[in-house]
Structure 1
């Protein structure tokens, strides 16, 4: 063997195990966050002459506006201008799909908190004070406030959706057993730490630069352009990072961006519009609450043979994203279970409340919790362990079982739920703890423990096929450093870290060599929202495509320069290995630059194999499925309804994780956020339609004291069957379904009051009041039975 061959073998050995993806890297802005140096929209230094805006809000849920006296507003200290709908230069609309969502109400208000006018003043406080001085002449109209009332009135923002498979009616008639009932699951405030904010700066030739805390810069660009009566090329939207989004900044940042831009354009001065927490919660939409009526047939083993459900959401006064949310709910009704005969109807109730919008899970959690509630009831009716009933209903492992096609027609080809749940059942000692919980309850008259294990199967992709695309730019500079720009937005979830790892891996560089710049509509155009858990999948693939093109050019250049075959060249550890020789990456880049080799590239990715027939509600809407399961143990005080989560064990399928540290953090955060939705976060409107839970003082998100002392989160050892970015899986939305186990553990504890023979009528959120009501209902049912 000659020396060159030995060197090449050493090169192969040196590069074979080198990787940048899959490593536990800290968030790229972690140090900046801790030091308070991370720049959010409100931290951007204000240009001289910057003005501040505030919105004047409606005090009626549904009314005609016969007039507004704004004299005192205009005369207030520091006020520069006041604008109403008639002052908008272009289109008075910020609806993402259907154009039924005015920027400023014009003659009709449809919820308490709807913006009527915008005040611009010299300071933020002066603008807010002035906004409260308006005198509005209202003619009140009847208001619909709940999804139940919307259903009765046939008040919908969109036509009802219907998905049917098999013959549900006949299957129900033949079923050995039936369960019938209703369920209400409340909504949820996104409660991002950074509220809605936009800072609009006029530029030359009618241009407008908008710094906006948004998950969807391209949509903000379109809305602002339409509101100003301009083309998209006049508007640039930039977002470096958000202090949380959770879906609340996907479409609903449009109101704030357009109001700021309209004011800035009319005054030809920079205008910042920042919402205080109360205003933010009063104006913006939440997670949709859902009301369900269900009838399900099942056999002696608990296997579901027919499922009929009608679900109606509180859409609010306009469509916003309620249609796609309802579609998701229909598609996720099965969760991890095969349903042979189904009849599913979803309705988007038009109510005189905030227009509800995207929220982590996007209808998926609302769809899946209904079937979990049903299975919980079936198990109790049969006297079986809920886990055993769940297992018997799981999707099949292979085609031969004939139980691997969803109700919408997509074949499940990556099912790992059996193995995943079996692993969690063992590692969490579920069976042993079930016996211990029952023994504890038998000896404890007041405090009752509950235990539950719930699975997750969650489809990954946008409902609308055309949104499943992304672009990226990668620049390699002469010093060997790399700058990346992609269409995704950073809201704390770590997308920039993951994309940087992907690019670093592709070019054989340490992560420190790669930097990701702010999302900017003038860099990557026509981007999709960072939503539907697709951020890293789409933008990672696009950035990989761009980086690979540069690497291929450098490879071709090195092969020609050194007179070797391209197959002998590899990139790793900040070096380029060339047929056994080593060249520093920076050195090769400089040589390539001098030889006029292009050192930047654009990349693009479109998710393959997706299709969806909205009319028939069938197709292949998801690229793959992510799986998971969690076990939760709680203790409930049956005298007060107070409860505490004692222990939580979660196992999540992130595929071949791009960054295990970030993924585990996402699972932990999603678990606690989902637990808040199902237990403490109650939205309450009074009879006049005013949201009364519009501040941290009246709306309870989980705190550190709500986290369990034992909180074990692990990633399931798996590799994505689909060709995702490095065979990883999404981790944004699916883990929010894991805390279903908390809700059903609480229900299990309440059921123990009636010796597990009564199904507690527990709705979500399971607040202490709701728990106490359920306890009393079980006690009453037990007394009647006795």
Structure 2
């Protein structure tokens, strides 16, 4: 299990040819082996702590928890229209269904009928106003899940409504001035200009580009759907097993729904079968409803959605519509930019405000914008309330500037990489973001240089042009795109974490922290950090389920901060224990506590060597505290949400990718032929896990931009793509036959956990290169005469429309 994965990568099948005989990987494997022998437990490739449980089916998810005697099952009856008024529900017809124990409406909720994350505008059950097709109107509790689902499916027959015309698109919401939160505005000028002055400078620039862009949303499509299992306990307490990224928020919202204090609610999550942001806030509705039913009926209640209902009820990545106006010079350097971003927020605020904030703060991506005016609008629509998704608005913000730069390159007849380089942030100048944070850790120049050389970009650019010149039907495209992604929650107080570490007398170690494991390897990395701090083997450390009864007031596992925050908190706790053990060792065996060394399950003190468990046993006899709490708060953060200025990010993660595609101009089909990725994770805690995260993010982001299309019926507001049969996600066949992923070497300049950098969200922006390679191929189909009007997702239909447009130009 401790075999360095860098060497395992050398044994990948032939489909991953670039990994074969890779000298760098052999050097990495050798370095990792040496580090492991020296006692390091971080910076090495450690297998996921639950890997064997995952593949054998022994990993326990919420639905696998053995059901207590008397467990009931809950299902939700959904609104049949997208907008209107709820007039009545035939409750008697529902109660008469086989196995039905109780039917709940909004009037049955004892506390607050609301699960809003920030703004309290999201009812658990409909209270009169129908906001979207699929909104929960009632809840059925029955003896079996099948009985509950059959009764809930009668919603169309038992619910009387007065329908109204829905608002479905962000453009329509914007035209009506209909928003879930007030509009946001961010203006910055190096010359001290107001927005009118910025727009005048754009108009006076040597070149000007105006246009619009549509970028679709994306379903999280976690393998494990939304589920909660609520068990009533004595004294009006409630124990909720919930598949959630934010147990503390679930605790508070369940307490509000029940009308009790937070200490009466315990929320526990061992692991999730994926989250991607979809379980940050939106698990609350199901936790609250299961808990309300369990309290009323004094029996355990489980609420597990099927895939269709999950699609119909929950939100996803916000789609964005943009209108831009940019001025630039002959080299493609942007002199001024103005942009309007409008998101489809859905029917309630949810997390739309911070998503838009991050979109505005990532519009710059890796580029210095001297004069910029940005406006963000969260359009209120009669659709599911959109929410967090990996990248949290950052991808939607950054793709706009990439689209603009790509269009500038087409307009000037230049290589898009040259135009991108001309606009890069500088090292000591041209390095202040639109929100006035100074970029102090810029490595984009050397990272892109390295990738350009390693990928053979220039030679491949010439080869693509040669191929296209002799191929009338198939066209190839190539693109290299960079990433600069800010790391931290853009709400300051969320950037904190706590942990508990227990050392038992046999030398084994138990860790609990506030983060949640959703397959990303958070628990693995935290265990590595604790093992490293105490100088013991990884196998000695066990990480338990996230539990609000152990670590209180935790932040969501989101914003790529899971390891940054919880790793530091666990390190703090482990260090306190190590210092107590060192003091004990020095007191018993002489010498200074500062000279005691912990490594490879041994302790060296004053010329003597003890087994780790032997020292622990001595410490117990000396009544030394062998457990400790730990805490961490990210330093140096500030944010003025009204002025949209400050230092919202602790540091930036960087990356770049080169993608080469081929398109069929007759069918619109595309194939990703090769991808080369170089990504910055600082000093990696676990290279194998980090490479896996980069690979997964790349394919997921490629799905968002090329194939995952959400379609609502334009009259009824029905989400037409609400199942795997109508919504396409990437499969193994969509992975490129050549997929080269490497980690950029270099430590984080900030004091992050072991100088590593976050890896969860930033690499989702890497497949921008796929989208723009497709755009490059489409441009070739039109002789590169005009920038292709390609929208995202670049489905076959979208590609054909863009080809028709460039050929007609």
Which TM-score bucket, shorter chain as reference? over 0.9
Partner of 1:7: none
Q: Does 1:233 align with 2:259?
A: no
**1:50-109 superposed Cα distances (whole Å, 9 cap, x missing partner):** 000000000110011111112221111111100000000100000000000000011111
Q: How does 1:158-557 map to 2 (within 5 A)?
A: 158-166=181-189, 167=193, 168-398=198-428, 402-557=429-584
Does structure 1 retain, via aligned residues, the 8 Å contact 2:500–2:627? yes
The alpha carbon displacement at 1:174 in A equals 2.8
Deviation at 1:496, TM superposition (A): 0.1
- After TM superposition, give the deviation of residue 14 of structure 1 in Å: 11
- Going from structure 1 to structure 2, the CA distance change for 1:14 and 1:565 (only over 3 Å counts) comes to farther
Does residue 80 (structure 1) correspond to residue 101 (structure 2)? The answer is: yes
Name the SS of the counterpart of 1:641 in structure 2.
Answer: coil
> Which position in structure 2 is the counterpart of 1:709?
737
Where 1:605 maps in the other structure, the secondary structure is strand
Are residues 1:29 and 2:59 paired? no
Q: Please list the CA deviations of residues 285-319 of structure 1 after superposition, one character each: whole Å capped at 9, or x if unmatched.
A: 01000000000010000000101000000000000
- Give the counterpart of 1:93 among 106, 114, 121: 114
Give runs of aligned pairs for residues 590-609 of structure 1, distance below 5 A.
Answer: 590-609=617-636
Is residue 784 of structure 2 the alignment partner of residue 756 of structure 1?
yes
Partner of 1:19: 40
Gaps of 5+ in 2: 1-33
Residue 140 of structure 1, aligned match among 153, 159, 163: 163
Structure-1 residue corresponding to 2:176: 153
Q: Equivalents in 1 of 2:589, 2:719: separation in Å? A: 71
Q: For the residues of structure 1 that align with 2:111 and 2:502, how far apart are their CA atoms?
A: 37
> RMSD of aligned C-alpha atoms?
1.0
Counterpart of 2:611 in structure 1 is 584
Number of equivalent positions:
766
Whether the 8 Å CA contact 1:324–1:463 is kept in 2: the answer is: yes
Q: For 1:112, what is the secondary structure of its paired residue?
A: coil
* Counterpart-to-counterpart distance in 2, 1:327 and 1:265: 38
Where does residue 120 of structure 1 map in the other structure? 141
Residue 769 (1) aligns with residue 790 (2):
no
* Alpha-carbon distance in 2 for matches of 1:753, 1:644: 16
Q: Is the 8 A contact 2:100 2:142 kept in 1?
A: yes
1:4 is matched with which residue?
none
Q: Quick check: 1:49 aligned with 2:78?
A: no
1:6 equivalent in structure 2: none
2:775 corresponds to 1:733: no
Aligned CA distance change for structure 1 residues 159 and 481 (closer, same or farther; 3 Å): same
Residue 170 of structure 1, CA deviation? 3.2
Equivalent positions of 1:550-569 (< 5 A) are 550-569=577-596
| C-alpha distance in structure 2 between counterparts of 1:212 and 1:620, whole Å | 34
Deviation at 1:552, TM superposition (A): 0.4
SS in structure 1 opposite 2:427?
Answer: coil
1:648-669: CA deviation from partner (whole Å, max 9, x where unpaired) = 0000000000000000000000
Q: Distance in 2 between matches of 1:409 and 1:707?
A: 39
Give yes or no for contact 1:15–1:572 (8 Å, CA) kept in 2: no
The separation in 1 between residues aligned to 2:241 and 2:604, in whole angstroms, is 43
1: distance between equivalents of 2:383 and 2:35? 62
2:80 equivalent to 1:59: yes
Deviation of 1:579 after TM superposition, in Å, equals: 2.4
Please say if 1:696 is aligned against 2:724. yes
Q: For residues 568 and 51 of structure 1, what CA distance do their matches in structure 2 show?
A: 59
SS in 2 for 1:448: strand
Partner residue, 1:107: 128
CA positional deviation for 1:619: 0.1
Structure 1 residue 16 displacement after superposition: 10
- The CA deviation string for residues 415-464 of structure 1, in whole angstroms up to 9 with x for no partner, is 00000000000000000000000100010000000000000000000010
Alignment check: 8 A CA contact 1:199 1:270 kept: yes
Task: Give the drift of 1:625.
Answer: 0.1
Provide the C-alpha distance between the structure 2 equivalents of 1:754 and 1:642, rounded to a whole number of angstroms. Answer: 17
Whether the aligned pair in 2 keeps the contact of 1:196 and 1:275 (CA below 8 Å) is yes
List structure 1 segments (4+ residues) > 6 angstroms apart after TM superposition.
Answer: 13-16
Contact conserved, 1:487 with 1:524, CA < 8 A, in 2? yes
Residues 15-24 or 491-500, more deviating: 15-24
The alpha-carbon deviation at position 568 of structure 1 amounts to 2.0
Q: What is the DSSP-based 3-state SS (H/G/I as helix, E as strand, rest coil) of the residue aligned with 2:515? A: coil
Matched residue SS, 2:291: helix
Q: In the alignment, what sits opposite 2:658?
A: 631
* Contact 2:589–2:606 under 8 Å retained in 1: no
- Contact between 1:440 and 1:449, CA under 8 Å: does it hold in 2? yes
How far apart, CA to CA, are the structure 2 residues paired with 1:98 and 1:580?
A: 61
TM-score for the superposition, normalised by structure 2: 0.94
